[in-house]
Each structure stands twice: as C-alpha cells, then as structure tokens.
Chain A
C-alpha cells in the first residue's frame, strides 16, 4: 500500500481545532486558508523529517530519534519550539514508561523467567523500532475506521 505525500493529509478537524485555539475569539478562518494551512503542515512534516534524517545519517544511525528532530528544529530556525518540545517529550516519556511497565508486568506474569533484565533491554529495542511497521491497537482501529468510511 504505497502512500504518496499528496494522498496524506492531516485531519481537517484537528487542524481547525489547533487554529481556533491559537486565534482570539471572534476570528474566523476561510476554508481556503484552512486548507492551505493543512497543506503547509504536511510540508512541514516532510521537511522536518528530511532534516532530522540528515542528522541521523550523519551519526551513522538508521533510526531517527527525538534528538535528531530537535536538531532539525534548530536548523530550520524554529528554536522557539525547542523548549515546549523538550517539555512535551518528558511527559511523553513518562507515559511511555508507565505503559511499558504495564506490558512488562503482563509478560512477567506469563513467563516466569529469572533473566528478566535481558528481556527488558531486548524488548525496548524491539518496541522502539517495530513501531514503524507494527501499529498499536488503538491506532489500528482508527485506521480501519478510515478505510470503511
């Protein structure tokens, strides 16, 4: 299922919500302006990804990481984003940790192996990179919805 950049747009409802929350009450946004902002957002994703990927490649890594993205933001002259992004990342990481602990607890309950330490690091790697290929349940449901509609 090859997806071209032109086919992928960010959900209009979400873009609209972000715009409305950024602007004062009483301000309207024309459909054309909304569509253009949505397009611009997609271009931004592609540009940021490309930029971040260069940093990863320079460091001889195949996996793009958060640090690469932050470096890309600086390169793209969006330094103002760095602080809020770092904060959001911290909260995100905590959430992830909680999630991992839950799934690890389940695994521990299933297989009672003495070598749980090794399992942990292996799992981390698998989960981190696998994500690109294998999507979490919640998101799968959402994507199925889209196809049916």
Chain B
C-alpha cells in the first residue's frame, strides 16, 4: 500500500469547478461545497477536491461510533471515496429494475428491489425509512 507510484494516476474526478455554477442555485447545501472550494489557500483545498463528499461530514458520521477513537485523514478520505463508489453502484443496479418496468425514472421501489436481490446490499435491509 505504501509503494510510491512513478507514473501519475489520473484522478477519476471530472473537474470539480464545473459543478459550481450548476449547483449554486440549489440552496444552502450546495453553498457549503462552493465555499469549501473557493476560500482558503489552494493547498488546503486541493486534497479535498479528490472527494466529492465533504470530509468533515464523513468524519462527523464516523465519530458517532462510540468504538472509534481516532481516524487518520487518509482513512476518512478512503471512506468518502468508497461511499461515492457505493452511490454509483446502487444507482446503476437500481436502474436495471426501472428499465424492467419500462420507466426512465428511478423510483424508491427500484432501490428496494436492488437491496433485496444483491448480496452486497444486504446490510441495508431494514435500515431505510
């Protein structure tokens, strides 16, 4: 894991700047993202751009677990990134059910179907409202 990569790895993110104009109209939560990107020294902001999800929020969530005492910055980042991948995955897997129903709109029931059918999502059973 500690091996240094000689060739630079292309980040999977598209340029996060383009999200600013799109999201600005969407209210307070979007503002939170924007200020995080616009204020502060460039060096402090650049590392958090690798993750679309705000690391502070992820960290706060992690801290609600009483068994967790400390977490390295890297671990917070990796969890943020993994959550992003998870969201992508569950959206895609749910879409299959929408398409089966000849719909172009993803609905809650598509999600329920995916959770029931797919082993990796078993941990979600009974957890959603």
Contacts and interface: CB of A to CB of B under 8 A. Distances in A.
> Which secondary structure characterizes the binding site on chain A?
helix
B1 A86 contact: yes
Contacts, number: 285
Given A76-B120, A88-B12, A95 B47 contact: yes
Given A33-B110, A69-B78, A102 B40 contact: no
B57 A10 contact: yes
Given A52-B75, A89-B78, A99-B47, A13 B106 contact: no
A54 to B, nearest CB: 9
A138 interface: yes
Interface string B44-58: 111110101111111
Interface string A72-116: 010011101100111111111111101100100000000000000
A139 B9 contact: no
B106 to A, nearest CB: 4
17 contacts: A3-B60, A8-B61, A11-B29, A11-B33, A17-B22, A18-B91, A22-B89, A23-B95, A33-B106, A33-B110, A36-B111, A39-B128, A46-B64, A84-B12, A92-B47, A139-B48, A142-B36
Interface of B: 1, 5, 8-9, 11-12, 14, 19, 22-23, 26-33, 35-36, 39-41, 43-48, 50, 52-65, 67-79, 81-92, 94-95, 98, 104-108, 110-111, 115, 119-121, 123-124, 127-129
